[in-house]
Amino acid sequence: MKRLIGIDEAGRGPIAGPVAVAVFAVSKEVQYRVLDFFPKRKVRDSKKLAPVVREQIFKLLQKAKTRGEISYAVSFSSTRIIDSRGITFAIRRALATSLKKLGVNPRQATVLLDGSLKAPEEFIFQRTIIKGDEKEPVIALASIVAKVSRDRKMRRFALKYPRYGFEAHKGYGTRAHYKALKKYGLSAIHRRSFLKNIVK
């Protein structure tokens, strides 16, 4: 079965927490029927959507996945991987893991990726699209899966590390986050490689 694949990441820029890469897949035979089910004005770059809208769409995706109409997978690379191997390697690793989870046949898939992302070389039908999450529904839906999944993980980290406000900023470098860093120091999930010039 030929599949149309969308790939996007969430969490490239934060100073704490993992990076997430989501792969969204739909059969080419039913792509128009399935994708038309999602409100076009709401399916776009996840960062431009309100959290409640992202959650609503994600719940629709879960139901569509249960019905067998779509499939998706999300994988994370930890802070340890980011610090030891770099963010580019971490993203590439999570991307490859998500593709393996879905069991995608490289020769039976058209892969659309956002920004500067690249699939493994064996995926010969791939195209990287600048601002792809605003132009291609399959990338936008991957963006939503990645963002919602990572945000949920950061809310769980907030319970373990309550001093930092992860539930609010999700690890991004807000003023409140830097203030907490100066007061409490780094937690186990802070990206030390991102903070060399800020926190000693």
pLDDT of residue 33: 64
Closest CA to 93 of 18, 191, 188, 174: 18
Residue 159 has pLDDT above 90, yes or no: yes
pLDDT band at residue 18 under the 50/70/90 scheme: very high
Higher pLDDT, 196 or 157: 157
Q: 50 vs 159, which has greater pLDDT? A: 159
DSSP, collapsed to helix, strand or coil, labels residue 128 as strand
d(Cα 36, Cα 58) in Å, to the nearest integer? 15
In the block, tokens 């529904």 appear at 137
* Residue in the block written with tokens 């927490």: 17
Q: Quick one: pLDDT at residue 149?
A: 97
This prediction has a pTM of: 0.92
pLDDT band at residue 46 using 50, 70 and 90 as cut-offs:
low
Please give the mean pLDDT across all residues of the chain: 91
- Looking at residues 13-26, what average pLDDT do you find? 97
Q: Tokens standing for 163? A: 């001093």
- Secondary structure (3-state) at 109: strand
CB 15 within 8 A of CB 175: no
Please say whether the structural domain 3-156 has been given the CATH code 3.40.1350.10.
no
